[in-house]
Structure 1
């Protein structure tokens, strides 16, 4: 059987590995001791019942393959060098290391116990704060504002963004209008068109009353703040021959078959790829379907390779368990009730728990 090495055990990497487990010797190289369901990370911050639910052990994911708790430090088309100094060979390589993002949307802790402790500590700080400042009015900032006001109704929350409107991307203006309406009902203040002259003096997530000033001269007082922008693809481990496909911003150029540009047996999925998809778990899953099908075709030597075609912008953005808005070209804009049915209460966690062999919550 051929050796398939998947670099990264996130949404895209685990889906590829699961799909190829019956036909190849699959190894996932992942430094974390557990899969992190980042879709629910913001609720994991505000709701203690959700904190432990974010972390799935890997031991029931694969029937034949293995998850190697290591960090890949140098990857080329057929060899992977690990942080321990060990080298492993691969017939196919799948790059699935995703992206880094400021806490709490993502955590950089590799030990799940340490990550849980960080969420619990940050929640205690947040619970004691009367005024919250969120820097960034994209999807993360909006969702975090909704989670905070759902957990602590009446809490003062301010969203600040230099952009002229909330939620970047090619979404319908009616979606933004619906989100702005709900934010106003929640009492969230939205300040657009200006940023801060400098970062607040305290660390993000630290309870410490401060005063800061926007570039437009407005004074803001808050007790705690969080950074809700700053996604960064994790791709700095690529060896010379693969790094040629790495753009200056860290994203990877791929072919329609999701092969790394210039490579026949190296694929990339998820947040890494420089496609028009949103950086979402859903997009990573769609990439994984294409890559798994193409590797199966190459192993068997039959069938044409599939191509990935990015779909139009679509989103389901909760503002707490009972609020939010959604958009797709087919359905148009959906309000709070429909969004709560789509994503609000369980944040679509059940299919992923089943994939990892875990019982439903």
Structure 2
């Protein structure tokens, strides 16, 4: 009878040790990175101070001059990072800070979105008005200290990749997209291809994203019955938030599996189901659904039951965004759409040792992919590229998925949540209360170097040079 409590105690102890070790590693790595950034800043100041007075730019031209790379880097060797969410943004920062002074390499980030989307908050802000702007964190502050010549930021999309270069999508007038050569390529395009709210914003610019979220808020507020399809985290959280915010509405959650949160342990599944039904949500399990053209009639495919609704919200079908590699190495893309990778996170193609993938797009064996796992993968990629690019060494860092990175906080309405972690055999969860309707997103802003919730300047201006 004591086996289960002992197993849980052991799980908690192992989780504590892993988390403590990860925290020490994070602070040690962050401290080293900040030291490198300070050295970069000091070198830049010395360069400016040593420049002949006649060559110093006029005051009004200071910003323009700062955006120009040093003369020796007019034609740098590029490390192209495609995508700047959790994995891509972090790997770009690590690489740019780690490149040696006067080296030949430069980081080029290609990202379509104007802001970092804090996706964990999207289900909440689709229901809770007045907080939607907090899910859009300005790019740039996370790169503080990176000299402009070491990094270029391109707002755009990669249409295709070949051996040695990527081609950007052309403009709306049909013009050809820019071709950017690379020595190293990092694919960090994430998942969610084709997905929209509440899983993904579905718009590249902040204003367009805010408009979509506010439209979702209006639709939910004006509905008598809301049907949510998909019982993963996004679907569960949105359904719970909608019912908690509007108790008089009918909310129906349809899921094709026998249990909600099916990728997690049975104890979390049971707790989530209990929480949903406790809020008064009708949960339909083991059913797939189709919706009519007008979005108001949902048909359950197994039973044939029909449900009329005012709002239909799909929370299914997230797929890895691996199209960028489809032409370059189709064999490294799995049936699920993930990019097959080696433990070094190089793509599983012997002819492409300079191409890496990390984050949700990579097939790393991570049971529950999230931002924590993506950042750990970014560190592995950065370490390996720096070893290869600056010292001619071999990639030695390897990524190993760890169950403790899969810890989840699942909100169950506006004021309650469930925390859970497990190793696949044993799990531990507990209930907690939520004090902040915005889910503490201000901490995410600070983590990415931004001041909550200030977004008045273009922090990337100095990195937009061609």
Whole-Å Cα distance in 2 between the matches of residues 221 and 156 of structure 1?
11
Cα deviation per residue 1:117-149 (whole Å; 9 max; x = unaligned)?
A: 111112111101121111111222111112212
Quote the Cα distance in structure 1 between the aligned partners of 2:364 and 2:298.
Answer: 40
CA offsets per residue over residues 77-97 of structure 1, 9 Å max, x none?
A: 421111232111222111011
- Take 1:287 and 1:318, find their aligned partners in 2: how far apart are those partners? 26
Q: Are 2:339 and 1:252 aligned?
A: yes
Distance 2:388 2:248 in 1: 57
1:222-269 alpha-carbon deviations (Å, 9 max, x no partner)? 221101110111121226443331123321000011111122221111
Please give the residue correspondences for 1:81-92 in structure 2 after superposition, counting only pairs within 5 Å.
81-84=167-170, 85-92=177-184
Q: Is the 8 A contact 1:78 1:91 kept in 2?
A: yes
Deviates more, 1:235-244 or 1:225-234: 235-244
- In the alignment, which residue of structure 1 is the partner of 2:314? 227
Mapping of residues 1-361 of structure 1, within 5 Å: 2-24=77-99, 25-62=106-143, 63-64=146-147, 65-84=151-170, 85-100=177-192, 101-169=195-263, 171-196=264-289, 198-203=290-295, 209-210=296-297, 212-238=299-325, 240-262=327-349, 263-277=352-366, 278-301=368-391, 305-312=396-403, 313-329=406-422, 332-337=427-432, 340=434, 347=439, 349-360=441-452
Distance (whole Å) between structure 1 residues aligned to residue 360 and residue 306 of structure 2: 36
More helix by share: 2
Distance 1:261 1:213 in 2: 40
TM-score by length of 1: 0.89
Q: 2-side partners of 1:304 and 1:194: how far apart? A: 46
Number of residue pairs aligned between Structure 1 and Structure 2? 351
- Unaligned 5+ runs, structure 2: 1-75, 100-105, 171-176, 454-466
- Structure 1 residues 321 and 21, CA, compared in 2 at 3 Å: closer, same or farther? farther
- Per the alignment, in what secondary structure is the counterpart of residue 337 of structure 1? strand
Which stretch of the first structure deviates more once superposed, 257-266 or 211-220?
A: 211-220
> 209-218 or 108-117, which moves further after superposition?
209-218
Partner of 2:5: none
Compared CA separation, residues 119 and 179, structure 1 to 2 (3 A): same
Secondary structure at the residue paired with 2:204? coil
1:241/1:211 CA distance change after superposition, 3 Å: closer
Cα deviation, residue 355, structure 1: 4.3
Distance 1:110 1:59 in 2: 16
RMSD: 2.4
Please name the residue that 1:206 is paired with: none
TM-score normalized by the length of structure 2: 0.70
Higher CA-based Rg? 2
Deviation at 1:325, TM superposition (A): 1.8
Distance, in Å, in 1 between the alignment partners of 2:142 and 2:355 is 23
Change (3 A) 1:202 1:20: same
For residues 55-93 of structure 1, the C-alpha deviation after alignment (integer angstroms, 9 at most, x for no partner) is 122233323323201211111342111123211122211
* Aligned equivalents of 1:350, 1:86: Cα separation in 2: 36
Per-residue deviation at 1:314? 3.5
Q: Distance in 1 between matches of 2:133 and 2:279?
A: 27
Structure 1 counterpart of 2:102: none
Separation (CA, whole Å) in 2 of partners of 1:219 and 1:238: 41
- Contact kept, 8 Å, 1:77 with 1:265, in 2: the verdict is no
Deviation string 1:188-213 (CA, Å, 9 cap, x unpaired) is: 111112223x323324xxxxx54645
State the alpha-carbon separation in 1 of the partners of residues 153 and 418 from structure 2.
37
**Any conservation in 2 of the 1:326–1:334 contact (CA below 8 Å)?**
yes
Structure 1: tracts of 5 or more residues without a match? 204-208
SS of residue matched to 1:29: strand
Task: Give the direction of change, closer, same or farther, for the CA distance of 1:355–1:292 in structure 2 (3 Å limit).
Answer: farther
CA distance in 1, matches of 2:372, 2:261: 18
- Shift of residue 280, structure 1, vs aligned partner: 1.8
